[in-house]
Structure 1
Amino acid sequence: MNYVKTITDQIEAMWMGFIAILPNLALSLVVLFLTWLVAKFAVRIADRIVGHTHVRTDLKRLTATAVKLFIWILGLLIAAAVAIPGFTPAGMIAGLGVGALAIGFAFQDIFENFLAGVLIMLRDKMNIGDWVDAEGVSGTVEKITLRETHIRQFSGELTILPNSMIFKNAVKIHTDQPVRRYDLMVGVSYDCSLPDAEAAIVRALESVESISKEKPVDAFARAFGGSSIDFLVRWWVDTERENHFLVHRDVIYAIKRELDEAEIDIPFPIVTNMFPETLRLEQEDTGNETAKPVEGN
């Protein structure tokens, strides 16, 4: 057997086959170029159509991505059918066989995050700009993509969480309702008049202009503390108009001022030490003084 001639014939056959499909390859490139143009204009049209509706920003991005993805998949299939005669999607899947299963396992996380991103965008809650707590991260939702969610923490850091983690776990949305309630514990001394203390705290809350007037303020005596009677103080803030941190500060200032004017103390923690036996204090001196016992509890 002439191995050189066999190899030469095979190379020549491959070259002739390549030459034969060059027109098909050129036509498939034209199809890809047309696909790019169609996808570009289709996305613009979709943006104009969706732009006139009251749809969330992330849903608008999802619509544009879905339109572009559909057109590109269709274009790639047409280009493959033009370049390779007899090509069909079913034949491609059958040809992959076990490889398709391996690819599926390899990209399992990507597919999971992609589906979770679609479901997150379709639900009503958690919009861009919301203050959320998710997986120990607290901050503002800055961006939602098909694979991940960007949360800007209040300290400035950007945290990127996979969409599957956001979708499968609990997420606290602080800004779901604009008017929110805030709580504070205030301790007053045991020897004061509790009704007077409650009235002073309520006056303090009512004097803060930034507190929402649509809902009442509350002050309830809740517990006997170690050194004080503890009041639970509650108020509401419209977070769309007011900074709740500044309101919290103003509330503390006002309560302290009203309690001082009413001569009601906010006691320091008191610690009582109990001793089972009498303590003896010894004092060093040049004289002959003897140590005297000190009575104690």
Structure 2
Amino acid sequence: MADAPNKEPSLDAAVENVVGISSDFVAHAPLLVAGVVVLAATWAAANLFASVARRVLERQRGKRGFKDLLRELGVTAVWVIGLLVTAVVVFPGMTPTKALAGLGIGSVALGFAFKDIVENFLAGVLILWRFPFDPGDYIRLGDIVGRVDQITVRMTLIRQVDGELVILPNAALLKQPVNVLTDRPHRRVTVICGVAYGEDVDAARAVIEQAVAACDSIDDRRPIEVFAQEFASSSINFEVTWWTGPTPTEVRRSRDQVVAAVKRSLHEAGIEIPFPYRTLTFKQPLELGRADSDARGEPVGGD
């Protein structure tokens, strides 16, 4: 019974706190609503800016990646301004100078907390600004070969030739060698073709060159090169080089056509493409008496 008077003051204090918080919330509700309105307006302004910037930049000449970077930076600037205005509206005592100072301190803290995200963001800025490939180009990064679908300030989306989508952090593109397969409108392709040792090398070279020149998948403005390369184990090998389109599909299609044409032309010219030959050499003469006895019909076993 002695504890009852102590509970009543505690209950009264809790009720007063709840009433005070409710009163503060009601008093600040218009400011919160105004902040939500400002955020919605910022979202609409960012989307409108991105749409207008896309249309305007598409009519300008220049690297597509650089245009995307300008659009991304513009959208980011709209959001930064919108967040500053929201902070000033929701917190009346906040000034733009204080908000910027707080944003700077927060950015440093976030930079340490999200180091990889910041690293990928900066890498994305560099890729969009300076890298020599755009969406639509084919690249090779290690075992990944595919078309660049999209480049953002955080990641790059690559559609592999088998249809799979690979999402690469932008920092990975800066830290590893990247082969841009479609940097030029044509690529050089090389195959090895062998003819038998008994064939005339000059005649075989001429047949191979004519066969490659007759293919419509090659670039006839670039030279066709056929060089006798080496004395292989069973053949004289030729290095056959030509130029075709830069995409992986064009390279595969052209290689298929050239290999079929060369094989057909060598066959029609009577030039042999040999199978591997093996010559066996024995240090001691082979005894053929047993085989001779079999040929004469004499018994080979018993007395």
Q: CA deviation at 1:176?
A: 1.0
What is the rounded CA distance, in whole Å, between the counterparts of 1:206 and 1:51 in structure 2? 40
Q: Deviations over 1:36-57 (max 9, x none)?
A: 3332332233223212113455
Aligned equivalent of 1:46:
53
Aligned equivalent of 1:89:
99
Quick check: 227-236 or 42-51, which moved more? 42-51
- Superposed, 1:160-175 pairs within 5 Å as 160-175=167-182
Which amino acid counterpart does residue 289 of structure 1 have in structure 2?
V
Aligned equivalent of 1:227:
234
Residue among 279, 285, 289 paired with 2:300: 289
Normalised to the residue count of structure 2, the TM-score between the two structures is: 0.81
Paired residues of 2:87 and 2:99 also in contact (CA < 8 A): no
Quick check: 103-112 or 114-123, which moved more? 103-112
Aligned equivalent of 1:294:
none
Aligned equivalent of 2:24:
17
What is the rounded CA distance, in whole Å, between the counterparts of 2:272 and 2:64 in structure 1? 52
Residue among 211, 217, 221 paired with 2:218: 211
- SS of the residue 1:243 aligns to: helix
- SS of the residue 1:187 aligns to: strand
Gaps of 5+ in 1: 292-297
Q: CA deviation at 1:174?
A: 1.4
Aligned equivalent of 2:141:
134
- SS of the residue 2:259 aligns to: helix
Q: 1:155 to 1:227 in 2, by over 3 A?
A: same
What is the rounded CA distance, in whole Å, between the counterparts of 1:254 and 1:278 in structure 2? 46
Q: CA deviation at 1:219?
A: 1.1
Aligned equivalent of 1:121:
128
Q: Deviations over 1:81-117 (max 9, x none)?
A: 22113332256369869xx63x434322112112212
Aligned equivalent of 1:265:
272
Aligned equivalent of 2:83:
76
What is the rounded CA distance, in whole Å, between the counterparts of 1:169 and 1:243 in structure 2? 26
Aligned equivalent of 2:3:
none
Residue among 181, 199, 215 paired with 2:206: 199
Confirm or deny that 1:107 pairs with 2:117: no
Q: 1:74 to 1:280 in 2, by over 3 A?
A: farther
Paired residues of 1:58 and 1:145 also in contact (CA < 8 A): no
What is the rounded CA distance, in whole Å, between the counterparts of 1:27 and 1:155 in structure 2? 51
Aligned equivalent of 2:194:
187
Which amino acid counterpart does residue 18 of structure 1 have in structure 2?
F
What is the rounded CA distance, in whole Å, between the counterparts of 1:223 and 1:250 in structure 2? 24
What is the rounded CA distance, in whole Å, between the counterparts of 2:124 and 2:131 in structure 1? 13
- SS of the residue 2:223 aligns to: coil
Aligned equivalent of 1:176:
183
Q: 1:84 to 1:262 in 2, by over 3 A?
A: same
Q: CA deviation at 1:8?
A: 3.7
Q: 1:42 to 1:225 in 2, by over 3 A?
A: same
Quick check: 58-67 or 179-188, which moved more? 58-67
- SS of the residue 2:222 aligns to: coil
Paired residues of 1:190 and 1:228 also in contact (CA < 8 A): yes
Normalised to the residue count of structure 1, the TM-score between the two structures is: 0.83
Identity of aligned residues (%): 35
What is the rounded CA distance, in whole Å, between the counterparts of 1:134 and 1:62 in structure 2? 22
The Cα RMSD (Å) is 3.1
What is the rounded CA distance, in whole Å, between the counterparts of 2:36 and 2:156 in structure 1? 36
Which amino acid counterpart does residue 209 of structure 1 have in structure 2?
D
Which amino acid counterpart does residue 183 of structure 2 have in structure 1?
D
What is the rounded CA distance, in whole Å, between the counterparts of 2:118 and 2:127 in structure 1? 14
What is the rounded CA distance, in whole Å, between the counterparts of 1:234 and 1:21 in structure 2? 76
What is the rounded CA distance, in whole Å, between the counterparts of 1:41 and 1:236 in structure 2? 46
Q: Give aligned pairs, total.
A: 286
What is the rounded CA distance, in whole Å, between the counterparts of 1:113 and 1:279 in structure 2? 73
Quick check: 88-97 or 20-29, which moved more? 88-97
Which amino acid counterpart does residue 233 of structure 2 have in structure 1?
G
Which amino acid counterpart does residue 46 of structure 1 have in structure 2?
A
Aligned equivalent of 1:295:
none
Aligned equivalent of 2:160:
153
